[in-house]
Structure 1
Amino acid sequence: MNESETRWLSAEEQKVWRTFMQAFNDFNAHLDRQLRRDSGMPVAYYEILVMLSEAPDHCLRMGELAELVRSSRSRLSHAVAALEKSGYVSRCPADGDRRGAVARLTDTGMAALEEAAPGHVTEVRERLFDPLTEEQVKALGEIAEAVAAGMRPACEKAIAEEFAAEAVTEV
């Protein structure tokens, strides 16, 4: 796309964009600091534990887990290795697939998640939901759904391209 085809943001859109990004970055950084301080884990590790806790038998294939936490497979592999070192996750071969691996939440990992969750939920409630009215919470949900739906095709394409690139390097 050349510059003449670019649909530049209006002044109002630019203001909303910058405010949104500042709020999002501040919120995520705050949650990360809180989890590191109170539970010794970054928010990315917490998300991995949550996804595993909600999965059947508390385990997921690594590729599926990477998609759920919006991570590259290599970045997820490093995170799972750190969680293994802490005893929170174990990794084992996938049934019937020599190259596939499954991440499983351990009892120690579930206990760490259960200990971290109250402080994390309190921060989410106090920083995100308490400042909003019921109508704003509903609107935020609708906005988030619309943005996610708009992003889905691009995300699915990027994941497919990453998977294909990793498959080539594994051969």
Structure 2
Amino acid sequence: MKNNTLKASLLAIVAGTTLLTAGVYAADDAKDSNEGHGKHGYHQMKGERGGHHDMRKMFRGLDLTDEQKSELKALFLAHRDEMKQNRPSKEERATQKEQMLSFITTSNFSEDDVRQALAAKQEARQQKAVDILKLQNQAYQLLTPEQQEKFKERFAKRHNR
């Protein structure tokens, strides 16, 4: 009888340890799965400051003056505010999702309607790309001719990799 009690106790300890270990690993995996994401676990654009990180990186090593740095910072902040204003609202995003769902679930599929919706999305993406290139051009114009030459060399070197 004593032998069975010992075996049962050992079994209870092993089972308990296994369950606790599984819980610890699960919590650790949940914490690791949040790496590379924002503080709320949402996926962020690459880099420290979203899409602007690459732009700021372009101007490293150009020996910018304090005045140039402050002008670039003001330019980037103004662009960020403009982009926030142009961002679609929650209602607009919900409407787009509803529209995509209706395209999938409708019994009368219309390619023309889908093409129109996709063309509108593509136009918005194109406008965003134009705005970013415009910002980069404005930032480039703040550089001195020597800095512009160095920028061109670094840009060519970076894109030849």
TM-score class, shorter-chain normalisation, is: under 0.3
Scaled by the length of structure 2, what TM-score is found? 0.28
Structure possessing the higher radius of gyration over alpha carbons? 2
More strand as a share of residues: 1
Q: Which has the higher contact order (CA 8 A, sep 6+)?
A: 2
